[in-house]
Structure 1
Amino acid sequence: MLRKAATGLFALIIVLVLVLSPSAQPHKAAAAPSFAKGADISWVPGMEAQGYKWKDKNGVQRDILDILKNDYQINSVRIRVWVNPSSSYTNGYMNKERAAALAKRAKDAGLSVMLTLHYSDSWADPGKQTKPAAWAGYTFQQLMDAVWNWTRDVMTTMQSYGVTPDWVQIGNETNNGMLWDDGKASLSMQNYAWLVNTGNNAVKSVSSGTKTIVHLSNGYDNSLFVWNIGGLIANGATFDIIGMSLYPSASDWSSKVTQTIANANDMISRYGKPVMVTEIGMDYNQPSAAKSFVSDIKTKIRNLSGGKGLGVFYWEPEATPGYNGGYNMGAWQADMKPTIALEGFLN
């Protein structure tokens, strides 16, 4: 009898230890800023590996995160993660370990962190949502299992570096779904919704306080958002925030901002979800227009109804003219000094 009682007590203790252990519980993200003024900095590690060094507007060489934070009031960063990327500094490189190291560096600098999970080995965007090569032959159930396992793997890798992301995008610019063709929204909105749910639930299983984002391009395109976001919700998808991209020109940015704000207000009214503009950019050689654009969209997103505008992120502002074979919407010049574009973030 005593042996049985002792055995039962021991088993109870083991169960309590497992249940109460911090590693057994979903972690909670630290409080995110009430309004994120952000920059996607995913090219930074590769640029540094190539020898790039940034200067501030006075020509003083400083750490790029220090410049972003202390000169332009950036309080958050966005970091992409690919499944099995190539070693290319520009079109690969950002595996989970490099992303986690960059996230730790940002956190140590006092910045909040957003992850963008590209469920691909390279760029996922409206024109391509290619499955990782290792997942190419999977059944749909195996695909969902892979999304679950990899998402949790990225999250636990982040936590091993001491980082709990504030936000995680489940995919990137998923205008027509993700992981084509299985998750192509025009072929099966339900499959797309299930994949979003799987990613969302995987994030929450590791960090219950991290907010998840579904992100589409062309924030001014209301019909796209009604079809995609509405379709997801009608098919039972669970996520926290609607993300948008906006890349206007110097001549049409004002009208595009007006359309994007109207769309954002419609999303809030229809679905009750907050909105975040997770990518913006404009040609580096139109710095005055870019500064005005940043200031305008920052102010109008912050003032969305019900406080449901959560932030604006500039995409890869550290990029110099023509980086990666022709990208010209960064906010640094060839002399490694910034344009005035990011001054639009200043209060």
Structure 2
Amino acid sequence: MKLKGLLLAACGLAFALSARSATFANGADVSWVSQQESSGYSFYNSSGVKTDPFVLLKNLQINAIRLRVWVNPSGGWNDGADVLYKAKRAAAQGQRILIDFHYSDSWADPGQQTKPTAWASHTLTQLNTDVYNHTYGILNYLKTNGITVEWVQVGNEINSGMLWPEGKTTSFSNLAGLINNGYSAVKAVYPNASVILHLANGYDNAVFRWFFEGVKEAGAKWDVIGMSHYPPATDWANYNSKISTNMWDMVSRYSKPVMVTEVGMDWTQAATSKAMLTDLLTKTKALGSNGLGVFYWEPQAYPGWQGYTMGATDASGKFTVALDPF
């Protein structure tokens, strides 16, 4: 009877994990939140009561949190300790976790993929080791502190590659090697985590085809295709149509699921953003099990925080209607 009970418990756990992974990710990247709070910012519910932002997001049906990682950042924001602090808060609310490696000391995107200062003089061989060790080190640190990570981005908006100049898309072979070292490190710590390759401009099917053909031919490994999506308020329906077409094409071509890992619109256009997000969620869910989720980028950013205006928080610290579709 004891053995039967253990087997039933194991089956129940496996079913629960399977159901969890099959659940659509209503997500938010809140990487700025600890820095905001340290600067004196607070967040409030609709009644004006100060509330933990992770609780506010959970109440808005946000079930997944994305957190970026920088290597040796100024001030410590987005380093391992800061990421763990936020990951614990997300886990306490039962929110799933996506870790986004930039492989830089600061922002990495199509216009800048600057090597960390500590890696600046390293050869390609050394950079491959750096990627593995950094990825493994951060993830193992999270795991040993009780954090389960479901998805990991190896690079952020890597349309033009990463760790320039060695990892530029002028050499897909170099880039694939760096990607695969990140991939191997992820699987060494979290064998069941999904590795995401993430590009900007999810509406641009031509760029996605060019990039993924390039890394595929070079032997890169990945599990999920990630996309950023910041449509203009005046033409969002057209851009949503384009990203939908691209998502379907990526699934068809590469037999990999897709995820919108960043979305946003100017906070003053909250009603328009709500309509856009409603439509985007519908289009992503139409992919069935191949549409994994949508993450709003820094919705808790106050208007103008760090010069950013596409959050979903008003000047009083309350979330706008932009997040209602979740």
Distance 1:282 1:170 in 2: 25
Aligned twin of 2:155 = 171
1:85 matched to 2:95? The reply is no
Cα deviation digits, residues 157-207 of structure 1 (max 9, x gap): 10122102100000000001110000001x201111111111011000111
One of 44, 49, 66 as aligned partner of 1:55: 44
1:222 aligns with 2:205: yes
Aligned to 2:293: 311
SS at match of 2:21: coil
TM-score by length of 1: 0.87
Shift of 1:110: 0.6
Aligned residues: 310
Alignment-derived partner of residue 11 in structure 2: none
Q: Identify the match of residue 143 of structure 2 among 154, 159, 184.
A: 159
Output aligned runs, 1:175-190, within 5 Å.
175-185=159-169, 187-190=170-173
Q: What is the TM-score with the length of structure 2 in the denominator?
A: 0.93
1:85-124 alignment runs, 5 A limit: 85-87=73-75, 93-124=77-108
| CA deviation after TM superposition for structure 1 residue 138, in Å | 0.8
Q: 2:116 aligned with 1:132, yes or no? A: yes
**Identity in percent:** 49
| Cα distance in structure 1, aligned partners of 2:314 and 2:31 | 18
SS in 1 for 2:43: coil
Deviations 1:288-322 (A, max 9, x none): 10001111101110111x52000000000000111
Name the amino acid aligned to 1:75.
Answer: N
**Structure 1: any 5+ residue segments left out of the alignment?**
1-27
Corresponding residue number in structure 1 for 2:243: 260
CA contact (8 A) 1:120 1:132 kept: yes
Task: Write the distance in 2 (CA, Å) between the matches of 1:67 and 1:34.
Answer: 20
Distance 1:119 1:42 in 2: 15
Q: Give the superposed CA RMSD.
A: 1.4
Counterpart position of 1:234: 217
Which protein shows a greater Rg?
1
**After the TM superposition, which of the residue ranges 101-110 and 216-225 deviates more from structure 2?**
101-110
The aligned amino acid for 1:254 is A
Q: CA deviation at 1:105?
A: 1.3
Tell me how far 1:32 sits from its aligned partner: 3.1
- Displacement of 1:249 in angstroms is 1.6
Given the superposition, is the C-alpha separation of residues 34 and 68 from structure 1 closer, same or farther in structure 2, using an over 3 Å criterion? same
Letter in 1 for 2:318: K
Q: 1:64 aligns with which of 18, 29, 53?
A: 53
Moved more, 208-217 or 53-62: 53-62
